[in-house]
Structure 1
């Protein structure tokens, strides 16, 4: 009977707490936070939609 799944190579597995991995994760989090900060707020979106609706009414 053969075991299911990939064969075990016996090599060392990368640790999830590797400092290089943590630095990469921290860098990605920083990038995402910057992107989130650039997103419009609900109020800004609502104001933009109202202005768009008003411009449509004026055209029609």
Structure 2
């Protein structure tokens, strides 16, 4: 009988997770934007190193 309340608790957890996922939906988009900006910054510093390599070739 103790397992029955446990499964009931587990069942309520997914609903909370679903609500969290919906709330977190805008967050990944912000993280994606930050990630893209970070990658752009890396590309900017990587591009100058690639240019001199292409010039001698």
TM-score by length of 2: 0.49
Structure (1/2) with the larger helix percentage: 2
Higher relative contact order (CA 8 A, sep 6+): 1
TM-score by length of 1: 0.48
